Structure 1
Amino acid sequence: MFAQRASSIVDGSPIVYPFSEAAEAHPTGLIACLQQIKGGSSSILTAPSSKAYNTDRLGFNLRFNYKPAAIFHPRSEDEGAAAIRCAAIHNVAVVPRSGGHSYEGYGIGGKDGALIIDLNLFQKIAMDTNTGIAIVAAGVRLGDLYTKVWDAGQYLIPAGTCPTVGIGGLALGGGLGMVGRKYGLLSDSIVSMTMIDANGNVQEVNATSNIDLFWALRGAGAGSYGLVTEFKIQAYKAPDKVTTFSIIYPLRTYRSAIEAFGAWGPSAADDVMAVMILKPSSIRINVNFLGPKEQAQETINTLLNRIPGKPTRIKMVEGTWLQAAIKWGSGTLNSTAWEGSRYTQGRSLLYRTPLSTNEMDIIYKYLNYSPDNDTITRVLIDVWGGKIDRPSSSSSAFDNHRGVLYSIQFFIAWNDPSSTSGSIGPKCLKWSTDFAKEIRAAYRSGHNLEAYQNYIERDLPNWLHAYYGNNVLRLQQIKKTFDPQNVFTFPQAIPLP
C-alpha cells in the first residue's frame, strides 16, 4: 500500500511503523497503535469495547448507527498526525468530525469500520483586532464562535444559524449564512488553513502556499483531502443595529408568495438575507437586515407590496448583531445542546431560474401530505446573490455555484427510532424519496441537477456533477496529489481519478 515509513508519538518519543504493501483492515492493531499515541496524554480514545462507544459514535442525525473502528479525540496536531498514520498502516479509512451534523452520517464514517478523528478538543478562538482575522480551531461550534468574536470587539463572521454546527464541515463545503449577501460565504472569508495530509505531514494552505489545495478545500474540502485543524478567517465589524423580521402568510398563498420572494431577492440590498420557510399550515419569511428598522422597513415594503393580501403577522425587532444571531439560533447560542428531533432526511436543489408552477404545486402537495401528525416537514427557500456572486477572495471550488437565484432545502424529521415495516420511519423516508423524485423530474433550472454539498444527499443522481460541476476532474487530480492512497474516504468523498 505504501512504500515509506511513518512515526507516531508515545510519551514524547517517536515509534516507527512500517507501511506494508499487503496491509489489510485490522481494527485490533489500529486500537493498539492509537493506544500508544495516547500514552499519558489527555487525548481520548473510544474503542468498541469502551463504555462511551455507543454514545460517542452518534451524530446529530440518529437515523445512522454506523460502527467506527475507533473514535480518537486528539489534543494536538502531532497526535492527529500520528492517528492518521496508524489508520494508513492498518488500511482503515480516516474520517474527520467537527460538529457531527452531516445529513448522511458521514461524521461517523458513512459506513462501518472507519477511524473517526473527532476535533472537539480543538477549541481555540483568538481575535487579532489589528487585522480583523480570527484564528479558529476546527472543533469550534458556531454558538461559541459568534459569542467570542463579538466579545472581542463586536465582530461577526458570516456563517449559519445553528449554534451546534461545527465550523469544519460548514466552512469546507461553502457555508451559507445570515449575512452571506453582504459578506459572502464562510469559505470566501477563509484566509488560510492548517491541514494534516494522508502521510501525517502538516500543510499550511493559503493563496500563496499549496494554492491548488487552497482552491479545493474552499467548497469541496469536507473530509476528502486531509484533517483540517485550524482556520484563519476574516471577520467583520458588526453594524451598530440589526433588524430582524418574521412575516407569516397562510400556506394557500404559496404561489404568489414564492413568485414574489424569488423576484424580490435579486433586487434587494446586500444588507438583506432572507429565507422562506413553508410548513403544512403557513409560510414564514425570516429577514435579517444589517441596519436600523427605518431602512429595514423600506426594504421589506418592497417585498410585501409584491404579495397579494396582508400577512397574518409581522414581527420586527431592532437590536445588536448578537441578539439577531440568538434569534436565528432558536433563542440560544448554546453550542452543546442538540436541538429538535434527530431522525431526519434532508435534500436540496439549487435554482438559477424561478420555480415553475408545477414545482410549486409539488411542494404544496407534499406539505399537505404528512406521514404522521408528529412529523416535521419543511421546505426552506434561501435567497442567494449579493456578495455570494462577487467574492473578494481568490477563485475556489465553490465557484460553480455562483449565480444561483435561490436554494431549496426540503426535509422531514421524526421521533420514533423504529425502522420496522409500518413504523413512522419508513413512511417518512418514503415521503422524502417520493418528493425528491417528483421535484427532480420537474426541475428545469438548467440541463442537470445542481445541489448544495453541505446538504449532502447519498442518492442524488450524478451527485459529483450536481455538487462540483466542471470542477470534478481538477478536484480529483488534487486528491491524487495529497491523498494518492485514498486514506480520507467516505461514500461521497472526492474520488481518485
Structure 2
Amino acid sequence: MRPAIALALLMVFIVSFCSAQNATELKEQLAMEGIMALFQDDAEYTAASQPYNLRYIVEPLAIAYPTTAEQISSVVVAGVIQKLHVVARSGGHSYIANGLGGTNGSLVVDLSQMKNITVDAVTGNAIIGPGNRLGDVALTLNNAGRGLPHGRCTYVGIGGHSGFGGWGFASRMWGMTLDNVLSATVVLANGSIVTASEHSNEALYWAIRGSSASFGIVASIEFRTHAVPPTATAFEFTWQMDAPTASAAFIEFQSWALSGDIPPEFGGEIGFLKGQAYGQVEFAFLGNYFGPADSFNSTITPFFSKLPAPVTANVTQGTWIEALTAIAAGNMNTTTQPDSNDTFYAKSLMAPQAVPLTNASMTALVTYLAEVGFNSSDFWHVEVELYGGNQSAINQVKFNDTAFAHRDTLFTFQPYASSPNLLPPYPDSGFGFVDGMISTLTLNMPSDWEWGAYPNYIDDRLQDWQRRYYGSHYDRLRVLKSSVDPLDTFHFPTSIEK
C-alpha cells in the first residue's frame, strides 16, 4: 500500500473513532440530564436531520430536544466538552441548512419543544418560545387582540426569523420582527443563562437583533406586540405582460414608492413569474393593507391606475387574522399537516433608497426574466418587497440601534429557483440563472452602488457576504463574538468570525 493511501485511511479511521467516541459520551451525558436526543443510529434520525432545502445533505452528530433554558445550557456545555460546533434550529427553514450546522458533525439544539406563548393582559407584551412557527404565533396573539410584524410563510420559526430580520406586510407600520424584541433569555457558550435587553447585556441585545445565532441560543423572547387594526385587506392581482409593459410597470412601482404618498399601513410587493410565451412575464402585485377598508382603493390608485386591467383579482377584506390567512403561504395552524420541502437556490439584494434603481437596471432584469427565464426549466419567481418610502417604520430606526444593517432599504429582491419537480438533483444551470437575475441589476447601476443582502435569505455562494449582510456592523460583531464565544462554539458557514 502506498504511504499516501495508508495515511489517508489512518485519518479516516481516527476521525471515525473520534466521532463514535463523541457520540457515545454525548449520548451518556445528555441521558444523565434527561434530555431527549437523536443520534445517527436512531430510526428517527433520518427524518429529523432532513433540511428544508433538499439541495443539502448534512449529517449532524446529534439532534437534542431541550424543553427549558437549563436543558439548553446542559446541551451547550456537553457540546463544548466534546469540542463540537453547536447550532440552534427553530423552524428549520435556513436556505443553506445552517440550522443543521451547514456541514457534518455539529450538535443541533432543536427548539421545537419550546412553544409557550404568554401575553401580558396589561402591557400586551408577549413572551414567546423560539420553537413557535409564524402561523401559530399569529393565531395565538390574535386571540388576545394582538399582532406582530412577520413574514407570511407560516412554517418559518420565530427564533430564526426574529434573530436576523423578520420582514412582513405589517413591517412598514410596525417595523421588522427584530425591532419588536424587548428582551431575550440567552444561553451563552459557557453555559450561563443571561437576559439581553436595553438595560442588561446591552451589547448582546444589540447583536441578537440581526445576527442572533452566532452569539448564543435564545430560549425565550419578549416582544412588544400591537393592538390589531379593526379592519384589514389582503390583495393579489396578476397580469400577463410583455417585457416593455412589465418594465414600465416596475418603473412606476419605484416612482410610487419614492413619492412619499404610501401610508405605513400599506405593505406589499411585486412579483415576477414565468410568462405564457417568450418575451413575457407574469406580473403580480400583492400584500396587505391595514387601514380602513373604504380607503384601500384610493391608497393603491396612484400605482394601480398606471397598469392595464389585471387578468386575476383577489381582494379579501375582514379582520386582521382573516387578511393574514388570505395571503399566507401555508396553513396558519401548522400542526394540521407537516412542513414541506424544496430543492432550490435563492439570493437577495437590498436596494438602498438613497440611490434608486435606474430604468436601465429594471428593464434589464425584466427582459432577462422574459427571455432567459422563459427558457429555464426551473420553477422560479422574483419577489420585490417594499421596505421603504418616507413613512416606513423600518427606515425610521437608527442605523446603530440594532445589528440589522440595512435601514435605508427601498426594495429587497428575492430571486428563487427550484428544481423542476422540487426534488434533487438541483440542475447546475440554476445557479447561473439565479446569479444572472442579480447581475442584470448590479451591472446597470453605478460601480460604487452599495447594495446589501438579507440574512434571512441566506446564500453560501455570496461573495463578500460579511459586508453584504452586515455592512459596517461586521467589525463590531466580530469583537463581540471573540468576547462571548471565544471557542467559536456557535459556528456555521455564515456565522460571525472571531
Is the TM value for this pair above 0.5?
Answer: yes
Conserved in 2, the CA contact under 8 Å of 1:192 and 1:231?
Answer: yes
CA shift, 1:250, in A, is 2.2
Moved more, 61-70 or 311-320: 311-320
Long gaps (5+) in structure 1: 1-22
Conserved in 2, the CA contact under 8 Å of 1:345 and 1:429?
Answer: yes
CA shift, 1:349, in A, is 0.4
CA shift, 1:272, in A, is 0.3
1:280 is aligned to 2:274:
yes
Picking from 228, 235, 253, the partner of 2:225 is 235
Picking from 423, 431, 434, the partner of 2:433 is 431
1:187 is aligned to 2:178:
yes
Picking from 401, 405, 408, the partner of 2:406 is 401
CA shift in 2, pair 1:479/1:86, >3 Å? same
Partner of 1:362: 365
Picking from 34, 37, 43, the partner of 1:51 is 43
Partner of 1:332: 331
Which SS does the other structure have where 2:309 is aligned? coil
1:298 is aligned to 2:301:
no
Which SS does the other structure have where 1:143 is aligned? helix
Conserved in 2, the CA contact under 8 Å of 1:125 and 1:136?
Answer: yes
Moved more, 165-174 or 42-51: 42-51
- Partner Cα separation in structure 2 for residue 298 and residue 25 of structure 1: 69
Letter in 2 for 1:185: M
Once the two structures are superposed, the pairs formed by residues 1-400 of structure 1 within 5 Å of their partners are 26-39=18-31, 43-152=35-144, 154-221=145-212, 223-252=213-242, 253-266=245-258, 267=260, 268-281=262-275, 282-305=282-305, 307-330=306-329, 332-336=331-335, 337=337, 342-352=342-352, 353-360=355-362, 361-370=364-373, 375-385=378-388, 386-391=392-397, 395-398=401-404, 400=405
Partner of 1:486: 488
Partner of 2:7: none
- Partner Cα separation in structure 1 for residue 430 and residue 34 of structure 2: 42
Partner of 1:10: none
TM normalised by structure 1 equals 0.88
Moved more, 196-205 or 69-78: 69-78
CA shift, 1:194, in A, is 0.6
- Partner Cα separation in structure 1 for residue 323 and residue 80 of structure 2: 45
Q: Aligned pairs, how many?
A: 466
Conserved in 1, the CA contact under 8 Å of 2:214 and 2:491?
Answer: yes
Conserved in 2, the CA contact under 8 Å of 1:188 and 1:393?
Answer: no
CA shift, 1:247, in A, is 1.9
Moved more, 85-94 or 330-339: 330-339
Conserved in 1, the CA contact under 8 Å of 2:155 and 2:330?
Answer: no
CA shift, 1:70, in A, is 1.0
Partner of 2:453: 451
Letter in 2 for 1:75: T
CA shift, 1:93, in A, is 0.6
- Partner Cα separation in structure 2 for residue 131 and residue 462 of structure 1: 42
CA shift, 1:89, in A, is 1.4
CA shift in 2, pair 1:49/1:150, >3 Å? same
Which SS does the other structure have where 2:487 is aligned? coil
Deviations 1:11-64 (A, max 9, x none): xxxxxxxxxxxx999433433343334437764211111111111111211111
CA shift in 2, pair 1:338/1:275, >3 Å? farther
CA shift in 2, pair 1:237/1:248, >3 Å? same
Picking from 410, 426, 435, the partner of 2:415 is 410
Moved more, 157-166 or 38-47: 38-47
Conserved in 1, the CA contact under 8 Å of 2:98 and 2:492?
Answer: yes
Which SS does the other structure have where 1:200 is aligned? coil
- Partner Cα separation in structure 2 for residue 71 and residue 439 of structure 1: 41
CA shift in 2, pair 1:350/1:394, >3 Å? closer
CA shift in 2, pair 1:416/1:234, >3 Å? closer
Partner of 2:278: none
- Partner Cα separation in structure 1 for residue 34 and residue 317 of structure 2: 45
TM normalised by structure 2 equals 0.88
- Partner Cα separation in structure 1 for residue 167 and residue 300 of structure 2: 21
Deviations 1:366-406 (A, max 9, x none): 354348776321010011120001139981111x3112111
CA shift in 2, pair 1:168/1:393, >3 Å? farther
CA shift in 2, pair 1:331/1:108, >3 Å? closer
Conserved in 1, the CA contact under 8 Å of 2:342 and 2:423?
Answer: no
